Structure 1
Amino acid sequence: MAVKDRRKRPRVPSINGSEHAVAPDVAVAFLKNTMPFRELDDDALRDLALHCKIDFFPKGTRLLTYNESEITHLFLVQRGGVRAFITDDDGEIVLKDYRGVGSNIGALGIIRETKANLNIETIEDTFCYLIPRDIFKELVRNESAISHFYLKSFSDNVVATAYTELRKNKLTRRSTEELLLFNTKAAELSKPLFSVSATTSIQECGVIMARQGIGSLLVYVDEDPGSMIGIITDTDFRTKVIAEGRDTREPVSSIMSSPLKTVPADMLCFDVLLKMMTTSIHHLGVEQSGRVTGVITSHDIMVQQGNSPYYLFKEIAAQSEFEGLYLLSEKISGLVRNIINEGAKAGDIARMIALINERIIAQILILLHRQLGPAPVRYSWLMFGSEGRIEQTFKTDQDNGIVYEEPNPDQRAEVEKYFGVFGEQATYHLLKCGYPSCPDNVMVSNPEWCQSITGWKEQFGKWIEQDES
């Protein structure tokens, strides 16, 4: 293909003034793990890598604007994430999708030679590889693996139908990819195992990860290479090595996360995803017959799924304003429709809704602490009814309370005042997120349901002794 003529490499214009050339080996390592480019042979990959640049886009950057932006490059998300959406005539977002590491942006417009068909905006600080439009079009023409992937995924009929339904406000959110959350097992998506001894130096581990183009290494004890005791990821290198200025001659055991969290090889990807959401862990070992046989990452699942509860979960956790939570909570029903169409069972839906609702509650509490200051004593948030049983269907009414540590006599008034305001504010923000008030007033804003440990003991005593006849 023509990209092999290195003397005729086109100049890549600046996207936001910060694009940089990237070492071909680094680009090749990324492309080898990204569909559909991993289907190319080594020579084609290396020639393509010579044309790649990398650019940084801060959170909130508009990469493309619907029906306005000329698409000069194919964007490949190297780190971070974006949202893709269209607005209706009233300016409301009526279609929304989330794309993470390995996702591509702009392919459809380049293939059809049209302007951007979606608004694309970063939801966190994001790095993207940039492939010039002409180079990408040449790949589509000359490489069957590339053309088959994109022309199948982005057929004109699917897009035209989606837009027609969208403008009629009858669109059901669907991915253009086959969703496999409920019929794919962890073993089917797990990557080959790469491991090192716990005494291996940090520097050696970095070299291995760079050469292999991988984002993690499992760690075993010297005496038993089959016994995995921990894991290191590229995040560990950034946060524990570079940020802390560690000596790279130290053993990798000094920065590994231990113990290694695992999932059974036959666990469905939906359950793996829920575990990742619950634990905030993005790399899990895959265990079969008592041995770790591979690694599965959140990216592996995202590549298969497209639209995902995982990205909504991440965006909720990233919110710094209450108003952002109000808007995101409106997306839960669309997400539920997606997984119902995929074949989710009632129990799966209830667990996912519970996790997302818990994330919304947790973020509200985090923002309240920033606003009101830290709690004067330790406390626990209580969930009753369907919330407590993890049986929620969409947004049931609020059933919650608080139990807090017994305060000293001289701080009792301060503590009661703090939790009084805290409870009222929490109830208000949950209401704004679409969770109705409890008709029986079983809510944290009611002092009866927001008490010290002693107060709760006394309350239970009254309930137990009370004659309800």
Structure 2
Amino acid sequence: MENVIVERVADFLKLYPPFNELSKNELYFVAEQVRVHYIPKRDFVFKIGDSAHNEFYVVQQGAVGLSSQHANTMQWIDICDEGDVLGLRPFFAEQTYAMQAIAKEECVLYGIPIEAFKKILFENKAVQTFLLESFASNTRNPKAADAKGKLLSTNYASTENETTELDFFQQAFYTNNPICLMANATVQKAALLMNEHNISSLLIEENQLPVGIITDKDIRKWVATGEMQIADKVHEIMSQPVYCVSSEISVAEAQTLLLQQKIGHLCVTQDGTNQSKIIGILSEHDVVTAQANNPVALLKQIQRVHKTSSLIRIRESLSRLLEAYLDMALPMPHIMKVSNAITQNLMHRIIEISENQLGKSPVNFTWLGIGSQGRGEQILLTDQDHALVFEDVPADQYKATQTYFLQLATKVSEVLHQLGYVYCPAEMMASNPKYCLSLTQWKTQFSKWIDHASSKSIMMCSIFFDFTKVYGNENLTTQLRLHIFKKVNGNQMFFAYLGEDALKNPPPLGFFRQFLIENDGKHKDEFDIKARAIQPLVDAARILVLAEAIEGKNNTVERFEQLAKLEPQNKEMYLACIKSFHTLSKFRAVEGFKQNTSGRYLNLSKLSKNDKMKLKRAFKPVQEIQSLLKNRFQLTHFL
């Protein structure tokens, strides 16, 4: 190999772990050993059961998909991009591959002879640690600055409910063989058992199946207050049903479930349901111990708050927590779930406090989060976007009723503003009389937007169609959603306008694969990642689920997952859209925290070459989904 080629190989390898831990001499030694392989699209790098190759691989160009023996429909365990390492198994385990690696597109791989690399492996402690951690933790890059990736999912199986994202978190440790009690035992017996074993909870079981849980808090609440007697049965004070999980649950999954359900314990059963044998109990304390940064603590603080100043500190703590999660390379799905759960609870508490201060509402109402909050995708501090729906009232009571809710919304908006959520420049807030309406008026408003489609009305639909209940009456939310689906059903003209709006931003790359940047204004020469890359995916997912009449799916990722189930022929594209959405969202979040902005505009000159390549790779699904929209909704004549 000529020196100039060796130098090029060395320059590439030194950008990625573990090669960035090599000395200059070690790096050049490896580069001299490299064999370059061109792999055509859909060709195998190796198959399940193949004898181990005498080299492992680094992706220099392209992408390699990893799948299990169950992946006969190409359901990828993971995708390896530039700089990723694969084929490490021969270093540490049996000499046959336990998975298959297939070129998702034309690839150039660097093959590094295992025997030659072993010389470095046993002399360079950092490299040895990296490879051992990678194999032991089952990730292709335990030091990654983004999603770590799976080398092999030990419990992987292709099922109908399979999620597209992998479990990147450590398995949660739970208490085996927990102390249980029958439902007809006395409260006194429960208290004595807790004291004897120095525990704070007991699972209540029948025939080894969980039927409830009792905690020391329950005993204090019912017995210490005199409402119940120690001779009463535990089934009278136990909490039910019990939330059950399987033994494979990760710390992150357990944390999210505790957060969403506002509970302190999870029951571990053989199959994760309440219809199988109890094998353990997982407490909030277990999660706290496993992960120091614990959003459950923030949730508890929210529940105790009575002052705005305390809410500000909690919102600041959430920002620090999310930024730490990004630094820790936790996957975007988990970061978004934690952010959404805490933000929703924070807003719920603000509305609750404001209503208490103002006095009980005259009729039922629901506070709607719209836009990114409505989709559960908000991470950064962005503009306020919300609306309010109240129950229908007689005409002579309407003005007084609306006045109350406008006062409530104003109080809430003021607190949100203090927390850092600035007022919406377009005043799309519940404090605006246009967006604080009765249920019937909201139905009338949506009907006008849908029946008289125009550029302005479609823009309003794009914002207000993504709504979720933050506080109040669920029935009002349901009625409004059913009305919308009824109005759009079969309305081809409406979908044509909605599709045109979804295509208003062209693909993010120009003819020569150059980034399309802003030409003038405050953000001249910067890249608008929201409008040019993220929003097209959001808009496409929305119009497609509306056209398929898929209800109850507001989140962009959940929408694409549902579409992937309904359209197997487009499954790979929809899954690629999910991956791109997470990649782009992470770029925006990192930029936002770094610059203390909304993260919308990227300064491309400050991105590394590798980051630019990742961005460009994330743009391909944007182009593909926009092409699908053009064909499906016959939009060529609109453009």
Whether the TM-score (by the shorter chain) exceeds 0.5 is yes
Change over 3 Å in CA distance of 1:304–1:390 after alignment to 2: same
The aligned residue for residue 332 of structure 1 is 318
The aligned residue for residue 261 of structure 2 is 279
Work out whether 1:196 is the aligned partner of 2:181: yes
Take 1:403 and 1:339, find their aligned partners in 2: how far apart are those partners?
Answer: 35
The aligned residue for residue 281 of structure 2 is 295
User: Structure 2: which 5+ runs fail to align?
Assistant: 1-166, 456-639
Q: What is the deviation of 1:282?
A: 0.4
Please show how residues 74-93 of structure 1 align to structure 2 within 5 Å.
none
The aligned residue for residue 262 of structure 1 is 244
Asked if structure 1 preserves the Cα contact closer than 8 Å seen for 2:251 and 2:290, the reply is no
The aligned residue for residue 442 of structure 1 is 428
Please show how residues 58-207 of structure 1 align to structure 2 within 5 Å.
183-186=169-172, 188-207=173-192
Take 1:402 and 1:263, find their aligned partners in 2: how far apart are those partners?
Answer: 36
Look up the SS of the partner of 1:214 in the other structure: coil
The aligned residue for residue 305 of structure 1 is 291
Take 2:413 and 2:401, find their aligned partners in 1: how far apart are those partners?
Answer: 18
Asked if structure 2 preserves the Cα contact closer than 8 Å seen for 1:263 and 1:285, the reply is yes
Take 2:324 and 2:372, find their aligned partners in 1: how far apart are those partners?
Answer: 23
**Counterpart among 203, 212, 216 of residue 197 in structure 2:** 212
Runs (4+) of structure 1 moved beyond 4 Å? Answer: none
Amino acid at match of 2:440: T
Amino acid at match of 1:419: F
Amino acid at match of 1:420: L
The aligned residue for residue 621 of structure 2 is none
Please show how residues 382-401 of structure 1 align to structure 2 within 5 Å.
382-401=368-387
Work out whether 1:431 is the aligned partner of 2:441: no
**Counterpart among 228, 249, 252 of residue 234 in structure 2:** 252
The aligned residue for residue 335 of structure 2 is 349
Q: What are the Cα deviations for residues 211-233 of structure 1, in whole angstroms up to 9, with x where unaligned? A: 11111111123xx2x11110100
Amino acid at match of 2:257: K
Change over 3 Å in CA distance of 1:191–1:437 after alignment to 2: farther
Amino acid at match of 1:390: G
Asked if structure 2 preserves the Cα contact closer than 8 Å seen for 1:365 and 1:426, the reply is yes
User: For the pair shown, which has the larger CA radius of gyration, 1 or 2?
Assistant: 2
Asked if structure 1 preserves the Cα contact closer than 8 Å seen for 2:322 and 2:379, the reply is no
Asked if structure 1 preserves the Cα contact closer than 8 Å seen for 2:180 and 2:203, the reply is yes
Q: What is the deviation of 1:410?
A: 4.3
Q: What is the deviation of 1:305?
A: 2.0
Take 2:196 and 2:313, find their aligned partners in 1: how far apart are those partners?
Answer: 43
Asked if structure 2 preserves the Cα contact closer than 8 Å seen for 1:218 and 1:232, the reply is yes
Take 1:389 and 1:282, find their aligned partners in 2: how far apart are those partners?
Answer: 27
The aligned residue for residue 221 of structure 2 is 239
Q: What is the deviation of 1:191?
A: 4.5
Take 2:448 and 2:175, find their aligned partners in 1: how far apart are those partners?
Answer: 54
Amino acid at match of 1:214: I
Q: Which has the higher strand share?
A: 1
Amino acid at match of 2:260: T
Look up the SS of the partner of 2:333 in the other structure: helix
Take 1:247 and 1:317, find their aligned partners in 2: how far apart are those partners?
Answer: 29
Amino acid at match of 2:199: I
> % of aligned pairs identical?
31
Q: What is the deviation of 1:371?
A: 1.0
Take 1:377 and 1:243, find their aligned partners in 2: how far apart are those partners?
Answer: 34
User: Structure 1: which 5+ runs fail to align?
Assistant: 1-180
Change over 3 Å in CA distance of 1:196–1:392 after alignment to 2: same
Take 1:390 and 1:346, find their aligned partners in 2: how far apart are those partners?
Answer: 12
Amino acid at match of 2:294: S
Look up the SS of the partner of 2:293 in the other structure: coil
Take 2:326 and 2:423, find their aligned partners in 1: how far apart are those partners?
Answer: 27
Asked if structure 2 preserves the Cα contact closer than 8 Å seen for 1:182 and 1:343, the reply is no
Amino acid at match of 1:253: H
**Counterpart among 210, 217, 227 of residue 228 in structure 1:** 210
Take 1:361 and 1:235, find their aligned partners in 2: how far apart are those partners?
Answer: 27
Take 1:403 and 1:279, find their aligned partners in 2: how far apart are those partners?
Answer: 25
The aligned residue for residue 465 of structure 1 is 451
Amino acid at match of 2:213: I
Amino acid at match of 2:338: M
Asked if structure 1 preserves the Cα contact closer than 8 Å seen for 2:186 and 2:233, the reply is yes
Q: What is the deviation of 1:361?
A: 0.5
Take 1:346 and 1:306, find their aligned partners in 2: how far apart are those partners?
Answer: 19
Asked if structure 2 preserves the Cα contact closer than 8 Å seen for 1:182 and 1:269, the reply is no
The aligned residue for residue 358 of structure 2 is 372
Take 2:267 and 2:210, find their aligned partners in 1: how far apart are those partners?
Answer: 9
Q: Which has the higher contact order (CA 8 A, sep 6+)?
A: 1
Q: What are the Cα deviations for residues 7-53 of structure 1, in whole angstroms up to 9, with x where unaligned? A: xxxxxxxxxxxxxxxxxxxxxxxxxxxxxxxxxxxxxxxxxxxxxxx
Take 2:175 and 2:441, find their aligned partners in 1: how far apart are those partners?
Answer: 50
Amino acid at match of 2:333: G
Give the count of matched residue pairs. Answer: 285
Take 2:168 and 2:196, find their aligned partners in 1: how far apart are those partners?
Answer: 34
Q: What are the Cα deviations for residues 163-208 of structure 1, in whole angstroms up to 9, with x where unaligned? A: xxxxxxxxxxxxxxxxxx953223x234532111111111111111
Look up the SS of the partner of 1:331 in the other structure: helix
Take 2:387 and 2:401, find their aligned partners in 1: how far apart are those partners?
Answer: 15
Take 2:283 and 2:374, find their aligned partners in 1: how far apart are those partners?
Answer: 29
Q: What is the deviation of 1:365?
A: 0.6
Amino acid at match of 2:178: L
Change over 3 Å in CA distance of 1:313–1:182 after alignment to 2: farther
Normalising to structure 1: TM-score of the pair?
A: 0.58
The aligned residue for residue 47 of structure 2 is none
Asked if structure 1 preserves the Cα contact closer than 8 Å seen for 2:168 and 2:331, the reply is no
Aligned CA-pair RMSD: 1.7
Look up the SS of the partner of 1:389 in the other structure: coil
The aligned residue for residue 8 of structure 1 is none
Asked if structure 1 preserves the Cα contact closer than 8 Å seen for 2:174 and 2:280, the reply is no
Q: What is the deviation of 1:255?
A: 0.8
